[in-house]
Amino acid sequence: MADATVVRAADRSRDHLSRTSLPALLYLTVVEASVRDLLGGGKVVGNHVVLDLGDGTHALYAHVRRGSLTVREGDAVRAGQVVARVGDSGDSGNPSEPHLHFQLMDGPDPDTARGVPFTWRGIGVPRNGEVFDVPEPAPTAPA
């Protein structure tokens, strides 16, 4: 979402299989979700990347696909750069499909950080079938 520094990068959690039967869905929502909740935020967010945006604000990209990270802790990233692939790891509200959870927070640790409100500007939230694109930055005048 912005030029930043990677401060956390984890992609060892397995992705959930599609839960299309009632017994499988019950197992995911009752057994697996309870275990992950007891183990803390790291298990809830699953595979994830946290970016330090500066001024005490951090961006969390959670539930990414295992083995898909393209960055490591300490890497500098640019707005629009691919950092991972969408997956379905962690306790992600128990959906049956890959998706991305995104949030801003006031620290790098999902267990202790608080959410930071934000709004989309000039882009909007994509509907089904729409592509979410990062616009090119406006050119700056030479100094």
- Is residue 133 in some structural domain? no
Give pLDDT, residue 130. Answer: 63
Q: How many CB atoms lie within 10 A of CB 50?
A: 25
- Is residue 137 in some structural domain? no
44 is in which domain, residue-wise?
Answer: 4-105
- Is residue 111 in some structural domain? no
Can you give the CATH number for the domain in which 23 is found?
Answer: 2.70.70.10
- Is residue 84 in some structural domain? yes
Could you give phi then psi for residue 3, rounded to 5 degrees?
-65, 135
Helix (H) or strand (E) holding 52: strand 48-54
The number of folded domains in the chain is 1
- Is residue 54 in some structural domain? yes
Q: What percentage of the chain has pLDDT greater than the value 70? A: 59
Q: How many CB atoms lie within 10 A of CB 76?
A: 11
The string of pLDDT tens digits covering residues 45-63 is 888 999 999 999 999 999 8
- Is residue 44 in some structural domain? yes
Show the low-confidence residues of the chain (pLDDT under 50).
Answer: none
d(CA 32, CA 22): 15
Give pLDDT, residue 46. Answer: 84
- Is residue 93 in some structural domain? yes
Q: Which two tokens stand for residue 117?
A: 């409100």
- Is residue 61 in some structural domain? yes
State whether residue 35 is helix, strand or coil. Answer: helix
